[in-house]
Amino acid sequence: MKNVYFSTPIIIAGGLISNSFGQVQLPENISIRPPIKIGFEYFKTDQAHRDISIGTVYAEQTLRIRKKPWDRISFGWNACLYYASGNSTQVDQPEPGPFSVRTGGFGISAVARLHIFDFRGGTFFADLVPGFAWFTDQFPPKGSRVNGSYRYGLGVRYRLSPGKSIEFGIRKIHISNGGGLVPSNPAYNGTGIFVSFGQRF
């Protein structure tokens, strides 16, 4: 069977046989070559009653299957550190504030990516990054420390050299507790940019 190469890695359970550093051999002669991406995101709120900025530093790995009909799809994971700062008011609440926001957090998410079209040296994509976020304080104020989250957007990946790449684009973010953790669910919505650098080891 012909080798099928993936552009980026993912953790796959069972049946993996290591054959060299940076490469894993799967059954039926399918191989993975694993770059890792280190990136930064910056979001500004879309809400008039919240003046909150969020920055993240993240590590990410995604797997693109180079075999039809799945060759336009990537899956992977994303882990990030959050830092949020600014001011917030709680409209239509007994305690409207304003409240000062200074908090950090940790997030873990899945990644699903659609490669809309490829061009020489790169690809244009849309992605969705759904997961969970844990903050050191209630976020937003009067919310909860544990929240669901998702980011989605459009981006470009460009190959700088063999084993090295850059990604950049725009994303939206939503963070909320779904109304099930505490009585209040003051969701956060924002728009931002991201950039990352990938290195295959």
Confidence of residue 11 (pLDDT cuts 50, 70, 90): very low
Q: Where residue 164 sits, what CATH number does that domain have?
A: 2.40.160.20
Does residue 80 form part of some domain?
yes
Question: Contact 111/74 with Cβ under 8 angstroms?
Answer: yes
Does residue 110 form part of some domain?
yes
Does residue 8 form part of some domain?
no
pLDDT tens for residues 162-199? Answer: 889 999 999 999 999 887 667 778 889 999 999 999 99
Half-sphere exposure of 4 (CA within 13 A, CB side): 15
Give burial (CB, 10 Å; 0-12/13-18/19+) of 135. buried
Is the pTM higher than 0.85? no
Which DSSP letter does residue 121 get? Answer: T
Residue 12 has pLDDT above 60, yes or no: no
Residue 76 has pLDDT above 50, yes or no: yes
DSSP for 20-41, please give it.
ETTEEEEGGGEEE--EEEEEEE
> What is the helix (H) or strand (E) element at residue 32, kind and residue range?
strand 30-32
Supply the pLDDT for residue 2.
41
How many structural domains comprise the chain? 1
pLDDT tens for residues 43-73? Answer: 999 888 889 999 999 999 998 877 788 889 9
Does residue 182 form part of some domain?
yes
- Which residues span the domain enclosing 70? 35-200
Does residue 117 form part of some domain?
yes
Does residue 159 form part of some domain?
yes
Residue 3 has pLDDT above 60, yes or no: no
Does residue 172 form part of some domain?
yes
Does residue 17 form part of some domain?
no
Residue 112 has pLDDT above 70, yes or no: yes
